[in-house]
Amino acid sequence: PHSHPWDEAFYVLKGDVEVRLADDTHQLSPGDYILVPANQVHAFTGLSDEEGLLIAYESPSHSHQFFQEINDTVTSIPEDLHKMPDIGKRHKVTFV
């Protein structure tokens, strides 16, 4: 679970996904949409055997730098997961 100071929205293209927003859980399927307000703790879990595919929208746009650093730094899971909190701090993303 994590939070950040920008709004985010997701549209599911493929697969079933569970989205946890604070204490609420939402099960989404292709065609479903969800808005995650700024600073709201949220997390995702894939529910189907097939790979999920979502379109993410954000405002204002900040996460591209965060995800780029993760892509460049976290090259092995789970070995590199310990790097995530420091990367998050640099991009105003808080892991809980």
Model confidence over 28-79: pLDDT tens digits?
999 999 999 999 999 999 999 988 899 998 877 777 788 889 889 999 988 9
55 — phi, psi (to 5°)?
Answer: -100, 130
Task: State the Cα–Cα distance between residues 14 and 52, nearest whole angstrom.
Answer: 5
CB atoms within 10 A of CB 4: 21
What are the tokens at 8?
């985010």
Q: Tell me, what's the pLDDT at 58?
A: 85
| pLDDT in the model for residue 14 | 96
Q: What is the CATH number of the domain that holds 49?
A: 2.60.120.10
Determine how many CB atoms are found less than 10 A away from the CB of residue 95: 14
**How many structural domains comprise the chain?**
1
Average pLDDT on 12-36 reads 96
Domain span including residue 47: 2-95
pTM (whole model) above 0.95: no
